[in-house]
Structure 1
Amino acid sequence: MNPKKPPVPVPLLMVIGIVAISFSSIFIKWSSAPVSVQGMYRLLFTSLLMLPFARPYSGAACALRLKDWLLLGASGVMLALHFLLWMGSLNYTSVASSTMIMALEPLFIMLGAYILYKERNSASAILGMAIAIFGVVFIGWGDIGLSAENLKGDMLSVGGTVAVAAHLLIGQKLVARMPSYLYSLIVFISAAIVFAVYNLVTSTPFFNYPAREWGIFVLLAVVPTVFGHILFNWLLQYASATTVSMNILGEPVGASILAFLLLGEQLSGLQWAGGVLVMAGLGVYLYSGRRKALKLQDSLPNAS
């Protein structure tokens, strides 16, 4: 992880990213196209938007080793699997329930970071995560349900959460030695190819969708992907995968509010209370990370 400061404060960038990704589930609910088609065009259009600005990174791409390319491919597969499972979960359960489960991502990230990178968290950071996750449970409490369809949606969301956690952990390793822009572009192209192969194998139509669907594909590429996923990938240069993944805890709040306003999905008092707990826990965690970074910065001059 790069210790230098970003040109824009990290908390502000996190807020922008949270708002952007909160629109993802809304656009998916609005679309009637297969989720594999939504995912493919979302990533394809994002890649096309990025390609004109990729020339400065051609040298870095040529310097990549075979191991780097294999890891990039693995990250792309995990990202495609995440979209396929999580987007599919929205066909069976509500926005609040699906995003609530997705917000458990930091648990998988923290476990994976400890196993792979020996990354430890302070007691206050763990407390912040616990508060936020407790709030997430409140958000989805009234909508988990016991029906077979809801259970299927929940399981798909769990699978998507595991996949995106693996994607972020691989990304943390790669952006330490390559530009985050190049990383995002290659991973998005890889994931789009995975979706294309999946659609070919399953005989899912590539075209013949109304103009409204194409508009949604573009919105999915610009809003939650460019201002969400790309931004979070860029933040991996300045924050750990565990910290970046904490942004997911803000998504259930934003997505649930948008679902209430735009889709008519009702929220209970417990869900509103859970939103407050989520933001409180996120604040505790980020404050803990800031203190840790300041301590590290203060110790650097004495390290030489």
Structure 2
Amino acid sequence: MIPQNLVQLKSDRTQALAFVTLCLALLSVSFAPIFIRWSETDLGANGTVFNRLFFFVVFFGTGKLISQRLTPAASTEEALPFTRRQWLLLGSVGVVSITSLVLWAISLEYTTVAKSMLLNNLTPIFTTLGSWLFLRRQFDNKFLIGMAIALAGAIALGLEDLNDASAGSLTGDIYALLSAIFLGTYFLIVEQLRFRFSATTILLWRCIIGSILLLPVVLLVEGQLFPTTTTAWLAAIGLGVISEGLGQRLLAESMDKFSSSFVSLFLLLEPIVSAMLAWAIFLEAISPVTWLGFAVVLSGIYLAQSSQAATQKDLQPASGDGSPTSSVK
């Protein structure tokens, strides 16, 4: 018999490692709006997203092929047959995520980094609502109150911008809000896929499908597929390797331990890092109201993370074929 205190210690260490992974993912995705700004000095919104997905496939797809060649017995994903529902989810993850990314990239052409991040990170509302409606998940008062507090802080971050919003800014706001809806759906799909597939596999499906869908759009609408300047090249590679390869992949990894609702809620912290980066690089001001909003968001997340609804404990995949699925780490 293993002593109970050792089991608890191992569980605490695993949870702490998962939280560190989530923090690293947050830092990585927070660089995305900065890279997008640099990339869009040479590329259009669709071209920027295409290069983000393309470079992920180049670097991480090659890495996965090499890994499979070196240790062919280590992967069990291909050995297990795909169900109809899994095929549908794998196909949907690319379509839904590419829609969210394109809408977000377009929003950055019309509004500030901080405001776009604010509206885009209203995602927890849509993720939690989707979990409740379609996956029949239950959320206790602690989680819901924490989410409400965090969202209140996030809304406070945008109050100053709302007072002097121009028509162009309003257009950017609409695109960012639509992006949040699709992003919430994406998190729900990834959460279900993580019961069966590795994070890298899910991201490869997302990026390959997204690249294929975007290729004709970029060629017909924008006419430029790849960057022509050094700054745009570095930004595109940064999007693929850092924001997608580290950020999105580690977010998917963290869904082994945290629910999609908590992951999307945790990403409300993203404006903190993005706003600081925008202040350092683009000289966008950070007001006292912004710092107050950050503090409120942190308080809400701290309350929500102590809820059972924040973890994957006792959660099961929503099986559409009546059979359980195994998790591939």
The residue aligned with 1:53 is 64
* TM-score (structure 2 length as normaliser): 0.83
Distance 1:202 1:293 in 2: 42
The residue type equivalent to 2:58 in the other structure is L
The answer to whether 1:113 aligns with 2:131 is: yes
Instruction: Give a deviation string over 1:81-104, Cα, whole Å, max 9, x none.
Output: 111001111111111111111121
Greater Rg, structure 1 or structure 2? Answer: 2
Give structure 2 stretches of 5+ with no counterpart.
1-9, 316-329
The residue aligned with 2:319 is none
* TM-score (structure 1 length as normaliser): 0.89
The residue aligned with 1:136 is 154
Are the equivalent residues in 2 in contact too, given 1:142–1:268 (CA < 8 A)?
Answer: no
- Post-superposition shift, 1:292? 6.9
The residue aligned with 2:19 is 11
Instruction: Give a deviation string over 1:19-76, Cα, whole Å, max 9, x none.
Output: 1111111111222111111111111111122122242587524622343223212110
How is 1:183-222 mapped onto 2 (pairs within 5 angstroms)?
183-207=202-226, 209-222=228-241
The residue aligned with 1:42 is 52
The answer to whether 1:67 aligns with 2:85 is: yes
Distance 1:216 1:150 in 2: 24
Are the equivalent residues in 2 in contact too, given 1:256–1:267 (CA < 8 A)?
Answer: yes
Larger helix proportion, structure 1 or 2?
A: 1
The answer to whether 1:26 aligns with 2:34 is: yes
Q: How many residues align?
A: 293
- In structure 2, the CA distance between the partners of 1:272 and 1:8, relative to structure 1 (3 Å rule), is closer
The residue aligned with 1:263 is 282
Q: Which moved more, 1:221-230 or 1:99-108?
A: 221-230
Are the equivalent residues in 2 in contact too, given 1:61–1:182 (CA < 8 A)?
Answer: no
Local SS of the residue matching 1:238: coil
Local SS of the residue matching 2:161: coil
Are the equivalent residues in 1 in contact too, given 2:259–2:311 (CA < 8 A)?
Answer: no
Are the equivalent residues in 2 in contact too, given 1:142–1:271 (CA < 8 A)?
Answer: no
Are the equivalent residues in 2 in contact too, given 1:102–1:248 (CA < 8 A)?
Answer: no
Give structure 1 stretches of 5+ with no counterpart.
298-304
The residue aligned with 1:163 is 182
Are the equivalent residues in 2 in contact too, given 1:132–1:278 (CA < 8 A)?
Answer: yes
The residue aligned with 2:3 is none
The residue type equivalent to 1:280 in the other structure is S
- In structure 2, the CA distance between the partners of 1:162 and 1:77, relative to structure 1 (3 Å rule), is same
Sequence identity of aligned pairs in percent? 26
Give the aligned CA root-mean-square deviation in angstroms. 2.3
